[in-house]
Amino acid sequence: MLETADTVVRLVSIGASLLLLLLLLAGQASRGIKVALVGLLLGAMAYLINSSDAFREMWSPFGMLDLFSIFVPFWIWLFARRLFEKEPLPAMLWSIAAVMLACWYFGNFQQWSQPVGFYLVHIIGLLLVFDILRTAIIGREDDLVEKRRLIRLWFPILVALQSGGVLLFEIISGDAIRHDAIQLVNAVLIFALTLFSGLALLRTDPELFNTADSRPVQASANPLSASEQVLKEKLDEAMGAQHYLTAGLTIASLAEHLSTPEHRLRALINQRMGHRNFSAFLNQHRIAHARKILSDRDSVDLPVLTIAMDLGYNSLPTFNRAFRAETGTTPSDYRREALAKPDGQN
């Protein structure tokens, strides 16, 4: 009974994944999201086949199914990172992929190293799942897109149950899952992840999948309501008074300062002013302030680190990344170019 139900769920999931791959070609999601989803869907189909005794006997050419299967946590991680607009560094991306590929090769073609490859690829997978949880939870307060804030709650839980649960179980048991009941639960969770991808493709949400994380997106063209206008005036007044320099400023503390509900302030900054993250909104004001200081000849000896700390950044690299994202150059280069101009032409 359980084996039959497991087979049915796997077949339905594979069919749904194939349909989604076709829909993906006509979808409007960004290229980065599409690449991650293609990898996720192919990996999910390979895992559904490879983890089933009935299917694996018919599909096992040169361990290719195993290759696609072990990369499922990688593609889920990349999809989550790009959905939450936290693109990993290229060096990190390719290093993880290279190590996982090496684990697959030695595990399938060098039998003496199979145990090492098995445990290493599972540990990497668990670390990726942990990073998804960390990225989703830590970034939720900063996120102004309400739909994505909801996804940050339940998507990591689903990933932890499916990928994290499978990886942890196999590390403890030292082998692939064989129990029929656990296999069925695993197949159902994979189907749930497939449905999530389907919702993303069937109705691509420009607000949800926009890739601009540091610059304002197009705001609503409708006139502000009376209450929104009043709130915006209060917000502009606070920013004009340089409240953005407040250390540890959050959307919650700013809402309290303005004596307004947090959800109203989120809606104003996101839907009416076009910012997707609170940090992007703050950076717009902080970097404008930094540009004035860096262009000031009387402040030429003020260290960049001091400027960063005074503006509320917790480290120089964080300030440099924010400054480069806003201006396309580093603070030091900006100062050098600004002060090279004749006085009064900054």
269 residue type, one letter: I
- Provide the 3-class DSSP secondary structure of residue 277: strand
- 15-24, 128-137, 241-250: lowest mean pLDDT where? 15-24
230 residue type, one letter: V
Average pLDDT, the chain: 81
Higher local confidence (pLDDT), 321 or 110: 321
**CA 279 centroid distance within chain:** 15
**Closest CA relative to residue 318, chosen from 246, 214, 192:** 214
Percentage of the chain with pLDDT > 70?
82
Res. 265 pLDDT band, cuts 50 70 90: very high
Bridge partners for 143 per DSSP: 277
Return the pLDDT at 152.
Answer: 86
pLDDT of 164 higher than 50: yes
Return the pLDDT at 123.
Answer: 92
Does residue 187 contact residue 13 with C-beta atoms inside 8 Å?
Answer: yes
Does residue 212 contact residue 154 with C-beta atoms inside 8 Å?
Answer: no
- Two tokens at 29? 């999601």
For the chain, the first-to-last Cα distance in angstroms comes to 76
Half-sphere exposure for 127 (CA within 13 Å, toward CB)? 9
Res. 10 pLDDT band, cuts 50 70 90: confident
Higher local confidence (pLDDT), 316 or 162: 316
Res. 212 pLDDT band, cuts 50 70 90: very low
Q: What distance in Å separates the CA atoms of residue 216 and residue 326, rounded to the nearest whole number?
A: 11
Question: pLDDT (tens digit, 9 = 90+) per residue, 169-196?
Answer: 778 876 665 556 666 776 777 777 777 6
Output DSSP code: residue 143: B
Return the pLDDT at 231.
Answer: 93
Return the pLDDT at 323.
Answer: 93
Highest mean pLDDT among 42-51, 61-70, 318-327 belongs to: 318-327
- Two tokens at 205? 């949400």
Report, as an integer, the average pLDDT of 59-81.
80
Res. 235 pLDDT band, cuts 50 70 90: very high
Report, as an integer, the average pLDDT of 127-148.
90
